[in-house]
Amino acid sequence: MQVLFESSTENPDTKGLGIVSATIEEFGREDKAVPHMGWNSAEPLLDDEAETGVSKTSAYYFVHSFRAPYDPSNDWAHSTTQYGQELFLASVRKGNVFATQFHPEKSGEAGLRVLKAWLSTPLDALKAPTQRTTRTLATEDGFIRRVIACMDVRANDEGDLVVTKGDQYDVREKETGPKTEVAPTSGSSSRPSSPTRAVRNLGKPVALAKAYYDAGADEICLLNITSFRSSPLVDQPMLAVVRAAAAETFVPLTIGGGIKDAVDPDGTPRTALEVAGAYFRAGADKVSIGSEAVVAVEAMLARPGQTLSGTSPMETISHVYGRQAVVVSIDPRKVYVTDSADHADELVFGNVAISARPDERDKMWWYQATTQGGRTNRPLSVVQLAKGAERLGAGEILLNSIDRDGTNIGYDLDLVRLVKNAVKIPVVASSGAGKPSDFVEVFEKTGVEAALAAGIFHRKEVQIPDVKTALEEARINVRK
């Protein structure tokens, strides 16, 4: 839509088509996270739902940092959306020209209705615009907190891609005792061997993605946790999974795993930008970067003046695709200390913490960044990592918790609030959800834009509609 306008403050030297007489401007950051990433309402100014499909009772998916301010005198104004205390144009229309700021192809059934209505209406049936209504700022906006279904995808021991889920990042089945196997050199002797623990298989990724879309998930996340020995560009099965999932689901799709510079087995170098591009062309909307973000932030902090290199995955991908396409996934763990001078600005004190266990009430701790799925501790705090990732071009933080992963005792609210208060970009809370009220609690007590769960959805211990019902009962906006 923005290309129809005269110009944008994002790049003043590059002119738009100039069809709409207005300038695109950046959102203010005083009262909200930017990018505007998530679902929101769109209020039509014209009575033309039959032609455009835009309905005030539906929600649509937005992801942008710049917007066209609402001007009641602009005869292109078609619908508006409020984010924080800003009103902007959600769509423009004049005659047979119609454009949207939201993404109809990622707005579920509501977005598909928009596409169908506009494309199926004959040109001679398009009505002339009627009198426009005007809109003023409301006390609260229509922004919707996202409920995200996440799937950890990896190859099992037979080579099939399956959805799995770990307990504190261990994705193999629990040991059940020694296994007795027959020695291949003798038909009469046997020996005990080390237990063989199979990869926990919770289903096929495309089928689960479709099921979660049908159940009302606001976003789907596919994290390939296979240890890549080369570029994911040679992992055609995973790219095929992304293509198939994108063809079956019409909500945002985030893909993670192997977004880094690598070398193929034949010696061909591949950049993180190339890998991300392959995922985007396969149907992904965002890519998630994990360990490479830690490496990049550490390198930035070590440089004189903490200058940007322009070569990290976050920088290169956000430069080409925008920061809204880059998610940084953080895997922190608690580190208990006895000296309050250690990481003083980030210390959490158990006696005032909002989600501490009873045995933590007399303790204090900070959160340490890790790499390689929590296997390696790094001399970097979670706040340093989150702030550094934002500076390098991340548009969203996916905040995990090694301590809470698979516990079903609720999100680590102290961790989530710490990071949410440290950055100006959206934050997704992850790890620990066990019941619908955990989603209510994390939204009410931390203000995060989204909350993610995996195992409880895979095992059907909690259904996505149950989460939406709990949120609605708590008067938190939901997408129906």
| Rounded CA separation 439/433 (Å) | 7
Centre a 10 Å sphere on the Cβ of residue 160 and count the other Cβ atoms it contains.
12
pLDDT by residue for the chain (480 residues), tens only, comes to 999 999 999 999 999 999 999 999 999 999 999 999 999 999 999 989 999 999 999 999 999 999 999 999 999 999 999 999 999 999 999 988 999 999 999 999 999 999 999 999 888 878 766 688 999 999 999 999 999 999 988 776 565 777 876 444 444 445 554 443 333 333 333 333 334 544 345 468 999 999 999 999 999 999 987 655 556 677 667 888 999 999 999 999 999 988 999 888 888 899 999 999 999 999 999 999 999 999 999 999 999 999 999 999 999 999 999 999 999 999 999 999 998 877 889 999 999 999 999 999 999 999 999 999 899 999 999 999 999 999 999 999 999 999 999 999 999 999 999 999 999 999 999 999 999 999 999 999 999 999 999 999 999 999 999 999 999 999 999 998
Q: Which two three-digit tokens encode residue 465?
A: 């509609």
Q: What is the 3-state secondary structure (H, E, C) of 250-317?
A: CCCEEEECCCCCEECCCCCEECHHHHHHHHHHHCCCEEEECHHHHHHHHHHHHCHHHCCCCCCHHHHH
What is the model's pLDDT at position 342? 77
Q: Which two three-digit tokens encode residue 373?
A: 């799925």
Question: CB of 148 within 8 A of CB of 400?
Answer: no
What is the model's pLDDT at position 391? 99
Q: Which two three-digit tokens encode residue 115?
A: 């596409």
Q: Regarding beta strands 59-64 and 190-193, do their DSSP bridges make them parallel or antiparallel, or are they unpaired? A: unpaired
In our burial notation (b when 16+ CB lie closer than 10 A, e otherwise), range 170-193 reads ebbeeeeeeeeeeeeeeeeeeeee
What is the model's pLDDT at position 131? 80
Considering only CA atoms, which of 153, 352, 317, 361 is closest in space to residue 241?
A: 153
- 205 pairs with which residues across the strands? none
CATH topology of domain 2-144: Rossmann fold (3.40.50)
What is the model's pLDDT at position 267? 87
Cα end-to-end distance, the chain, whole Å: 26
What is the model's pLDDT at position 220? 98
| 5-14 contact pairs (CB < 8 A, 24+) | 5/68, 8/66, 9/66, 10/65, 10/66
Q: What is the pTM of this model?
A: 0.89
Question: CB of 278 within 8 A of CB of 245?
Answer: no
DSSP 3-state assignment of 408? coil
| Rounded CA separation 375/372 (Å) | 5
Q: Which CATH number among 2.120.10.80, 3.20.20.70, 3.40.50.1820, 3.10.28.10 corresponds to the domain 146-167+200-474?
A: 3.20.20.70
| Rounded CA separation 378/290 (Å) | 13
Centre a 10 Å sphere on the Cβ of residue 231 and count the other Cβ atoms it contains.
22
Q: Give the torsion through C-alpha atoms of 354, 360, 364, 366, to 10 deg.
A: -70
Centre a 10 Å sphere on the Cβ of residue 257 and count the other Cβ atoms it contains.
25
What is the domain partition of the chain in residue ranges?
2-144, 146-167+200-474
What is the model's pLDDT at position 237? 79
What is the model's pLDDT at position 311? 98
Angle formed at CA 454 by CA 449 and CA 456, multiple of 5 degrees: 110
